[in-house]
Amino acid sequence: RAPHIISWTSLWVASALAILSWSS
Amino acid sequence: PEPKYLGREDVRNCSTSPERLPVTAVNTTMRLAALRQQMETWNLSAYIIPDTDAHMSEYIGKPDKRREWISGFTGSAGTAVVTMGKAAVWTDSRYWTQAERQMDCNWELHKEVSISSIVAWILAEVPDGQNVGFDPFLFSVDSWKNYDQGFQDSSRHLLSVTTNLVDVAWGSERPPVPSQPIYALPKEFTGSTWQEKVSAVRSYMEHHAKTPTGVLLSALDETAWLFNLRSSDIPYNPFFYSYALLTNSSIRLFVNKSRFSLETLQYLNTNCTLPMCVQLEDYSQVRDSVKAYASGDVKILIGVSYTTYGVYEVIPKEKLVTDTYSPVMLIKAVKNSKEQALLKSSHVRDAVAVIQYLVWLEKNVPKGTVDEFSGAEYIDELRRNENFSSGPSFETISASGLNAALAHYSPTKELHRKLSSDEMYLVDSGGQYWDGTTDITRTVHWGTPTAFQKEAYTRVLMGNIDLSRLVFPAATSGRVIEAFARRALWEVGLNYGHGTGHGIGNFLCVHEWPVGFQYNNIAMAKGMFTSIEPGYYHDGEFGIRLEDVALVVEAKTKYPGDYLTFELVSFVPYDRNLIDVRLLSPEQLQYLNRYYQTIRENVGPELQRRQLLEEFAWLEQHTEPLSA
């Protein structure tokens, strides 16, 4: 049975937060 | 090649007047009215209905099929949102046609799955200052955070409502919660005792950087695996509704006690409160019990992917330790040598059933006596006849011709297509056995395939081979290597819209997270099992998927190093009629022939032992070495 593709949203959010906290 | 025009009489057409609905569509007008009445009572302008249960299960029991009941759409993935004036479902490409067949015109279909797109739609539909409701037990901490983030800069309020409004609207028609016995697996089918597993989890907690005092387990395969217990609360999944709170000095299992026999109660040591005694508490007490435990000098570890916001919200933040997955998920992902042997042996028996089916099809399809449904019934029966069988591991996907273009199409007694030598046939099926869960897909053609069908099939096979034979550094994430399964398709402009593989294990769920090839899967390690399943779907004409289960093993490399590769444990040959050997590289061909030799070695003796001589001859013929 084929697995569905997981949304990347949470990864984007996590990456964005990581970049923001790194910049600040 | 252009997709063929379908005529589309099988799907709804909401742009005509009057609207045209297929017979498969469900009238949801009354259901929506009942839900909106509840929303009004709770002062909600929108209500989010996800596709899961309180344990973030992929497969859910009948009482949890809330999204299905409210929308009519039965696909396993998809979220619904209802406002006072509109209703919408978000789902991925596997289910678009199915949704168009099953939903009436009360519903919008959104062909995407991201939470951000759902939030954007709600923001456009719900005025400022209004409430958006959700059941906190149906949202993982992860998904709640994503929704919460989406609403943070808006003036809409995301409101946790512990009363499920769909359940209220569903009323007495909602199916009852299961109460079948919960039983312990015989020890010959388990890799370790539950006491050994508990000790391993406690040791993990002791060595954790934040030294949690307890771990809360919410996923159903976690409790089933930890205690070596099984039941049948969810179709195709041998689970029982439960939570566990495992601390450094106690074990609490939240489950309906009446479901245990005296023998199983003794097996769990339920009549004491020592560190290796299982204290049973009622399922409904989990929130209060966790809250009470959290009031002490403790730290509770949760895996945010499977813990719901309903339990999370009662733990003070300073007492929380959060990881993506619980230690049980991580320990369970790597199978020990006994578990590996058990899983392999279930795959040998499973291969016998699949080979018997393929031989039967080869004889009967030309007679015109087989259809998708009778085929599915027959392969399920063949598996049931195998030792230690506990039924199929999911609803058999038996799809001929254009139906196979729907990745998760399953026939019904009423609606099915006759199998024919003139078109391709895809069968994706699996079994639950006490020693292992299986899942295999083969696509076949008994007549003369077109050049394009052969090319597409061969490229899917090349993708399967390229990933299966890949050598990669230990601890590489699946997502890094996933493209190898798509490369042969990509280079000619073809692709598939689903994931490339999923973890699988010993008599648990067929999609056993967190192993796989997606961004939130854990890194590959020796002893993990995953499926490898590229495909290609040509809308309106045919579908191809070639799926095998593989064990992650150490690779022998020319230079010393810690490298891994895959060893296939599915032992059924591919369709020679659909392989264009001219497309295969010498390395791919060599790999394929070596795999065929392995199939012969593993399944041949079993077929002979059972006197399945016709099947044995078929296997010999279909595993003859291929040459360029």
In this predicted structure, what is the pLDDT of residue A8? 52
pLDDT digits (tens, 9 = 90+) for B121-177: 999 999 999 999 999 999 999 899 999 999 998 999 999 999 999 999 999 999 999
Identify the closest residue of chain B to A6 by CA–CA distance.
B518
Alpha-carbon separation of residue B579 from B18, B207, B233, B444 (angstroms): 48, 51, 42, 10
Conformation bin of residue B323: beta by default, left when phi > 0, alpha when psi is -120 to 50:
beta
Given a cut of 90, whether residue B461 has pLDDT beyond it is yes
Question: Rounded to an integer, what distance in angstroms lies between the CA atom of residue B572 and that of residue B560?
Answer: 33
Identify the closest residue of chain A to B146 by CA–CA distance.
A10
In this predicted structure, what is the pLDDT of residue A14? 47
Q: How many residues does chain B have?
A: 628
Taking CB atoms and an 8 Å cutoff, what residues of chain A touch B501?
A: 3
Interchain CB contact of A20 with B (< 8 Å): no
Place of tokens 């950087």: B209
Place of tokens 């009942």: B34
How near does any CA of chain A get to the CA of B199, in Å?
Answer: 32
Identify the closest residue of chain A to B534 by CA–CA distance.
A2
In this predicted structure, what is the pLDDT of residue A3? 85
Mutate to test the interface with A, among B409, B519, B522 (most CBs of A within 10 A): B519
Identify the closest residue of chain B to A9 by CA–CA distance.
B114
Taking CB atoms and an 8 Å cutoff, what residues of chain B touch A11?
A: 519-520
How near does any CA of chain B get to the CA of A13, in Å?
Answer: 8
pLDDT band at B33 (very low <50, low <70, confident <90, very high): very high
Identify the closest residue of chain B to A3 by CA–CA distance.
B499
How near does any CA of chain B get to the CA of A11, in Å?
Answer: 8
Interchain CB contact of A22 with B (< 8 Å): no
Beta bridge partners of B626: none
Given a cut of 90, whether residue B408 has pLDDT beyond it is no
Taking CB atoms and an 8 Å cutoff, what residues of chain A touch B520?
A: 6, 10-11
Identify the closest residue of chain A to B516 by CA–CA distance.
A3
Taking CB atoms and an 8 Å cutoff, what residues of chain A touch B519?
A: 6, 8, 11
In this predicted structure, what is the pLDDT of residue B94? 76
Structure token digits, residue B359: 């031989």
Q: How far apart are the first and last CA of chain B?
A: 27
Interchain CB contact of B77 with A (< 8 Å): yes
pLDDT digits (tens, 9 = 90+) for B75-132: 888 999 999 999 999 998 878 988 999 999 999 999 998 999 999 999 999 999 999 9
Cβ atoms of residues B361 and B254 within 8 Å: no
Provide DSSP, B413-431: SSS--B--TTS-EEEEE-E
In this predicted structure, what is the pLDDT of residue B5? 41
pLDDT band at A20 (very low <50, low <70, confident <90, very high): low
Structure token digits, residue B342: 């058990």
pLDDT digits (tens, 9 = 90+) for B178-217: 999 999 999 999 999 999 999 999 999 999 999 999 999 9
In this predicted structure, what is the pLDDT of residue B287? 95
**A6·B518 Cβ contact <8 A:** yes
Interchain CB contact of B426 with A (< 8 Å): no
Identify the closest residue of chain B to A17 by CA–CA distance.
B149
Who's near A8: CB < 8 A, 6+ residues apart? B114, B519
**A2·B94 Cβ contact <8 A:** yes
Question: Rounded to an integer, what distance in angstroms lies between the CA atom of residue B37 and that of residue B156?
Answer: 20
Taking CB atoms and an 8 Å cutoff, what residues of chain A touch B113?
A: 4-5, 7
Cβ atoms of residues B83 and B106 within 8 Å: no
Size of interface A-B (CB pairs under 8 A): 61
How near does any CA of chain B get to the CA of A12, in Å?
Answer: 11
Identify each DSSP E strand in B329-483 by its residue range: 389-392, 397-400, 425-429, 431-433, 436-437, 440-444, 472-473
**Helix B613-622 and helix B586-609, axial crossing angle in degrees, nearest 10:** 170
Identify each DSSP E strand in B229-373 by its residue range: 229-230, 243-247, 251-254, 278-281, 300-303, 320-323
Q: Cis peptide before B366, with omega less than 30 degrees from 0?
A: no
The pLDDT of B57-86, averaged and rounded, is: 95
Q: What is the CA radius of gyration of chain B?
A: 25
Taking CB atoms and an 8 Å cutoff, what residues of chain A touch B152?
A: none
Cβ atoms of residues B146 and A9 within 8 Å: yes
The pLDDT of B476-490, averaged and rounded, is: 98
**Using CB atoms, which residue from A2, A7, A9 is nearest to B498?**
A2
Structure token digits, residue B148: 């919460």
The kind and range of the H/E element at B545 are: strand B542-545
Question: Rounded to an integer, what distance in angstroms lies between the CA atom of residue B612 and that of residue B530?
Answer: 29
Average pLDDT in chain B: 96
In this predicted structure, what is the pLDDT of residue B4? 45
Task: List, as ranges, residues 16-55 from B with C-beta within 8 Å of A.
Answer: none
**A9·B516 Cβ contact <8 A:** no
pLDDT digits (tens, 9 = 90+) for B237-256: 999 999 999 999 999 999 99
**Which among A10-24, B396-410, B414-428 has the top mean pLDDT?**
B414-428
Taking CB atoms and an 8 Å cutoff, what residues of chain B touch A13?
A: 146, 149
The pLDDT of B584-608, averaged and rounded, is: 98
pLDDT digits (tens, 9 = 90+) for B299-311: 999 999 999 999 9
**A3·B428 Cβ contact <8 A:** no
In this predicted structure, what is the pLDDT of residue A13? 47
**A3·B535 Cβ contact <8 A:** no
Interchain CB contact of A24 with B (< 8 Å): no
In this predicted structure, what is the pLDDT of residue B83? 98
In this predicted structure, what is the pLDDT of residue B8? 66
Backbone phi and psi for residue B371, each to the nearest 5 degrees, phi listed first? -125, 175
**Helix A9-23 and helix B141-152, axial crossing angle in degrees, nearest 10:** 60
Who's near B415: CB < 8 A, 6+ residues apart? B24
**Using CB atoms, which residue from B142, B511, B516 is nearest to A10?**
B142
pLDDT digits (tens, 9 = 90+) for B514-572: 999 999 999 999 999 999 999 999 999 999 999 999 999 999 999 999 999 999 999 99
**B113·A1 Cβ contact <8 A:** no
**A1·B394 Cβ contact <8 A:** yes
How near does any CA of chain A get to the CA of B603, in Å?
Answer: 23
Tell me which of B398 and A13 has the higher pLDDT: B398
Interchain CB contact of B235 with A (< 8 Å): no
pLDDT band at B10 (very low <50, low <70, confident <90, very high): confident
pLDDT band at A10 (very low <50, low <70, confident <90, very high): very low
- CA-closest candidate to residue B200, choices B65, B333, B33: B333
ipTM of the complex: 0.75
In this predicted structure, what is the pLDDT of residue B328? 98
Identify the closest residue of chain A to B533 by CA–CA distance.
A2
Average pLDDT in chain A: 58
Interchain CB contact of B92 with A (< 8 Å): yes
